Amino acid sequence: MPTAIITGSGGLIGSESVRYFAEQGFDVIGLDNDMRAYFFGPDATTQPTTQRLAADLGGAFRPLTIDIRDESAVRDVFSRNASSIELVVHTAAQPSHDWAAAEPQTDFSVNANGTLNLLQAARDHTPNATFVFTSTNKVYGDRPNHLPLEEHDTRWELPADHEWFDGIGLTMPIDLCTHSLFGVSKLAADLLVQEYGRYFDMPTVCFRGGCLTGPQHAGAALHGFLAYLMKCTVSGDPYTVFGYKGKQVRDNIHAHDVVAAFHEFHRQPSAGAVYNLGGGRQSNVSMIEAIALCEEIAGRKLQYSLSDEARIGDHMWWVSDLAAFKADYPAWDLTFGIEDVLRDIHDSNAQRWLADRAANQ
């Protein structure tokens, strides 16, 4: 039986990957030490998700409490399973550009050094295994804010005749802009993954994600905006929108569609591949538009405020160009639109959020 190693296995994309590849017949080894609870507090813990996966999948899933910064522990997992590892899905990360500024060394050691540990272990023990890395659009820094954006009633938008109206492509420069420290640590990891692919001829890919989301997302104030936005709408907690009049645009992609893209690449991998991956023109929304949708789906108003202060390095507009990946892997396409995503988040979590709210009052 082939083995898949999945880091961040209790998180949003990690847990979706665990379930998906276990169902595809893989023996899945999950690496997760619940640092999300350290980053964002106890409400963001991944432990319940890990426990559910273990209960549902039985022997097909082996969760290990390992910090990817621990080179020896990472190497041991790879060496013990070297003969069967065919896939590595690396989703573990410190994912917030706000949080990174508080502990830059922690952020960099997790995102960059942790990735290096995994790449070297894969090179030494399973160099032919597909290595999938969840990168981020923050590698482009705030360069998208230099685009000729137009202000509309509910969103910022590119002119229809602009080359990137259908989505931003890989040719966007990364220099001479503000990345946030998170963007820097993820860019370092992104380049490492590319370099191991090209220099050592390993089958690696960087998926530079927009907003990745889904019902299992433990959304927090500093990360996971759609899940946290819906949670606040349902529970009555206040929400703050930072900057850009609430008209900043994000493309959003459901975790299921992300992992399906991983699988398509694994079926036909290449060395040092890079793709932008998000909701594209099929699934994007501004903050104001997202609030209206959350209120409609939840049947109640959100208590929110608009702050004039934008987050450092935050994007006014991001829509991913999916054309390159679709051209290389034509069997893949999005199966969730933005309203589908929000309804899935609501229907899967609303009762629990309300119960938690009642218990804490």
Tens digits of per-residue pLDDT, 167-177? 999 999 999 99
Output the DSSP codes for 63-103: EE---TT-HHHHHHHHHHTTTTEEEEEE------HHHHTT-
Q: Among residues 17, 274, 335, 309, which one has the least CA distance to residue 136?
A: 274
Minimum mean pLDDT range among 75-79, 88-92, 240-244: 240-244
Taking a C-beta distance cutoff of 8 angstroms, is the pair 31, 66 a contact?
A: yes
In this prediction, residue 159 carries a pLDDT of: 98
Residue bearing tokens 């609870």: 37
- The DSSP symbol for 320 reads B
In this prediction, residue 221 carries a pLDDT of: 64
Q: Name the band, by pLDDT with cuts 50, 70 and 90, for residue 340.
A: very high
Which amino acid belongs to residue 93? A
- Average pLDDT of 335-339? 96
Taking a C-beta distance cutoff of 8 angstroms, is the pair 241, 171 a contact?
A: no
In this prediction, residue 224 carries a pLDDT of: 66
In this prediction, residue 355 carries a pLDDT of: 86
Domains and CATH numbers, the chain: 3-359 (3.40.50.720)
As a whole number of angstroms, the distance between CA 130 and CA 86 comes to 6
Does the pLDDT value for residue 219 go beyond 80? no
In this prediction, residue 292 carries a pLDDT of: 98
Does the pLDDT value for residue 141 go beyond 70? yes
Does the pLDDT value for residue 361 go beyond 80? no
Query: CA 264, 277, 156: angle at the middle one, nearest 5?
Result: 155
Q: Name the band, by pLDDT with cuts 50, 70 and 90, for residue 358.
A: confident
Q: Name the band, by pLDDT with cuts 50, 70 and 90, for residue 44.
A: confident
Q: Name the band, by pLDDT with cuts 50, 70 and 90, for residue 223.
A: low
Calculate what percentage of the chain has a pLDDT beyond 90.
90
In this prediction, residue 216 carries a pLDDT of: 81
Dump pLDDT digits (tens) for 240-265.
Answer: 999 999 999 999 999 999 999 999 99
In this prediction, residue 148 carries a pLDDT of: 98
Q: Among residues 322, 188, 328, which one has the least CA distance to residue 265?
A: 328
Dump pLDDT digits (tens) for 191-205.
Answer: 999 999 999 999 999
